Amino acid sequence: MDYKRPQFFRVMQYAQRADRDVVDMVSGNPDWEPPQALREGLRAYADSNPEQFQYPASVGLRELREEIATRRGVDIERVIITNGTGEANHLAMAESLDRKGSEILLVDPVYPYYAGRVQMLDAEMDFVPVGEDGQLDAADVRAQMGDDTAAVVVNSPNNPLGVTYDADTIHELVSVAEAHDAMLISDEVYDHFDYSGRFESALAVDSPNRIVTNSFSKSMAITGFRVGYAVFPHPDGPNGDLMDGARSRHMLTNVTSSRPAQAAVLNALRETGPEYYEQNRDMLRDRIETFTTALDAAGAAYTEPEGAFYVMAQFPDFDGTMANVERLIDEAGVAGMPGEAFGEARSDWFRFALVTPEVEEAADRLAAFFE
Amino acid sequence: MDYKRPQFFRVMQYAQRADRDVVDMVSGNPDWEPPQALREGLRAYADSNPEQFQYPASVGLRELREEIATRRGVDIERVIITNGTGEANHLAMAESLDRKGSEILLVDPVYPYYAGRVQMLDAEMDFVPVGEDGQLDAADVRAQMGDDTAAVVVNSPNNPLGVTYDADTIHELVSVAEAHDAMLISDEVYDHFDYSGRFESALAVDSPNRIVTNSFSKSMAITGFRVGYAVFPHPDGPNGDLMDGARSRHMLTNVTSSRPAQAAVLNALRETGPEYYEQNRDMLRDRIETFTTALDAAGAAYTEPEGAFYVMAQFPDFDGTMANVERLIDEAGVAGMPGEAFGEARSDWFRFALVTPEVEEAADRLAAFFE
């Protein structure tokens, strides 16, 4: 499969051209308000002096790195600000491959951009399928590790499945990486959307074999701002070359990340209390409840969402192909993603993103369609 | 030489730690006001609805691409918005190498990021030295082209030399690229700062063997915003694969460029008249005049600046080494870049960036130091 052309845009275009109104459950674009302090930060930045409009340090605004380092409990030298989690994952994968090995291990179902990046980096990829319940078994990862494995990329809370990996899983994954002298790359961009209370950051385990990536795209509802970060092993310790390499690659690819966005996020980080995040988490929990109730009514199987804002579901006698995605758009007025876009393990499922206030309407439409 | 660690930061750090006030002529950070409409665009964006805060199209905001395409007289399908000229050049080089060949030809003296990118892409590089007058002779480029040459990268108006290539040179460079089935990559980020009236964009020549890169970093005094673009051959024509590859690489590296910055630039492009650019050009012309007059007084040789905002100069018995850069900082209170950072051809020269209102003070200090 050619992962270098993610299918999101193809589905969105089809939905936009449809001859009816369609509930868009395709992309992971939050539909709620950003923190008020984000808007204020951007306004204040717009009025700042010309010096503030010039290159920040290539690794990012120092105050923003400090704020992140303090919150994550890591040394500032380990933090690099990136153009969203996308670039953070790119740097993590590219530097892991530069360090050792030729293969990246991914989880199936997979977030397609991971697979696309592996292809772009001319590396090999292999997939570890999840279990029936959507959970990843670290023993399955261990069984597929080889001498050529450069890195394992995991995402928790997970897109597309919505599962959250618990502390045991995360600790075991780090051990597996250490045992095979590979890197664990833990993408935690949905960390503010854990409904299970079981989420564990890979930063909880002290290890030079782990890179954590994240961003403010989802937690602050600003996917277009492109402010993310990676936490690498300390540049002065074991595997310290990874950070040096990432700094250099970031500088030579992008020079630095966009400063207005960094300034706005800095203000939002400082001024936004936990209520903002709780409120959105509660709203999404309600949407999930509404949507899965309708799935039950439609006789669908689905993975119980514990985090993020996606639901993967399987309908009786209606596979998650592109053709059926188009039928759902035309006949039910609901646009989801075909499971086949996310690999083999759930290729006959659909993925729905709950980033629309019309979740209830979509649920009703699906229930009626499958009645 | 290791170009993967540009020396700018080393010099800036030394200057900051100096035990005296130092005129900073190191980096290319404009010190003048951005267009008023840029600030207004950013303020308006800060008040927009949450939908405007989400992913724009990966290739950039459609209205911004349209505005650029119209101004440059090219089809919109040829334009991709990038994270500054830096990423535009990265995409252009990476895709040229994917297309054919293993070598990139650069001009010496060179903008160090070009050389760093070639090293990061694991390609070979070769240098074409400029003539005594700082001009590039297309015949010299032709003589160094081989079967393995993937691309030639030029910059006009030029950093670090300040020269501008005329129409004949640009047309010949395109011919040379065509004759060797290579790409000409023309970085025109200083196009608004041509004092000679001789500047010719490579877009003036119709050819599938040419990529033009640019940004608003210098023309709008916003190096920190990271809004640039590349104009590739049309995706439906000869060498159309380059654009497809660049879109994919951009998506998988960065997902998309930061939207607040794109929105602000779009407003500034639409609302800013030619007076803004003329005024800054006039100011820089005056600074160049002031500075070169002082260089004459100091007995220095220099390349007559025709564009951009840099002056390369050679002082009698005082080579442009890092040690002498530090002496100038400590003893004269002027921070410039060592010529050796830009390759071999002008390794005993210095480069001064005229991005400070203190140009006259710097000129006086240099004249006194070399008296």
Q: Would you say residue A246 has pLDDT above 70?
A: yes
Q: Around Cβ B147, how many Cβ atoms within 10 Å?
A: 11
Task: Nearest chain B residue to A265 by CA: give it.
Answer: B260
Nearest to B217 by CA among B309, B286, B305, B153: B309
Q: Would you say residue A5 has pLDDT above 80?
A: no
Answer yes or no: do B226 and A258 touch at CB < 8 A.
Answer: yes
Range with the poorest average pLDDT among A238-247, B1-10, B51-60, B102-111: B1-10
Q: Which residues of B291-319 are buried (b: 16+ CB within 10 A; e: fewer)?
A: bbebbeebebebbebbbbbbbbbbbeebe
Q: pLDDT tens digit string along B261-295?
A: 999 999 999 999 999 999 999 999 999 999 999 89
Q: Would you say residue A213 has pLDDT above 80?
A: yes
Structure-block tokens of residue A14: 């089809």
Closest CB from B56, B84, B248 relative to A224: B56
CA distance A113 to chain B (A): 6
Answer yes or no: do A226 and B255 touch at CB < 8 A.
Answer: yes
Angle among Cα B28, B30, B32 to the nearest 5 degrees reads 165
ipTM: 0.96
Q: Would you say residue A3 has pLDDT above 80?
A: no
Section A10-34 average pLDDT: 91
Residue-level pLDDT at B2: 74
Residue-level pLDDT at A366: 92
CA distance B36 to chain A (A): 10
Report d(CA B328, CA A344) in Å as an integer.
Answer: 64
Say how many Å lie between the first and final Cα of chain A, rounded. 33
User: What residues pair up with A186 in beta bridges, in sequence order?
Assistant: A154, A212
Interface check for A84 against chain B (CB to CB < 8 A): the answer is yes
**Using omega within 30 degrees of 0 as the cis cutoff, is the peptide bond preceding A6 cis?**
no
Residue ranges of E strands in chain B: 23-24, 79-82, 103-108, 124-129, 149-155, 183-187, 210-215, 228-231, 301-302, 310-314, 334-335, 337-338, 350-353
Residue A190 confidence class, pLDDT cut points 50, 70, 90: very high
Range with the poorest average pLDDT among A94-98, A326-330, B11-15: B11-15
Residue-level pLDDT at B244: 96
Q: Which of residues 107-126 of A touch B (CB under 8 A)?
A: 113, 116-117, 120
- Phi then psi for B145, rounded to 5 degrees? -75, 140
Domains of chain A: 8-34+274-369 (3.90.1150.10), 36-271 (3.40.640.10)
Q: Which of residues 232-261 of A touch B (CB under 8 A)?
A: 248-249, 251-261
User: What residues pair up with B307 in beta bridges, in sequence order?
Assistant: B194
Q: Would you say residue B334 has pLDDT above 90?
A: yes
Closest CB from B83, B117, B223 relative to A83: B83
Residue-level pLDDT at A6: 67
Section B180-193 average pLDDT: 98
Question: Does residue B3 or residue B285 have the better pLDDT?
Answer: B285
Query: What average pLDDT does the structure give for chain A?
Result: 95
Residues A303, A304, A308, A311, Cα dihedral to 10°: 50
Q: pLDDT tens digit string along A134-184?
A: 999 999 999 999 999 999 999 999 999 999 999 999 999 999 999 999 999
Residue-level pLDDT at A93: 98
Residue-level pLDDT at A49: 96
Report d(CA B243, CA B245) in Å as an integer.
Answer: 5
Q: Would you say residue B7 has pLDDT above 90?
A: no
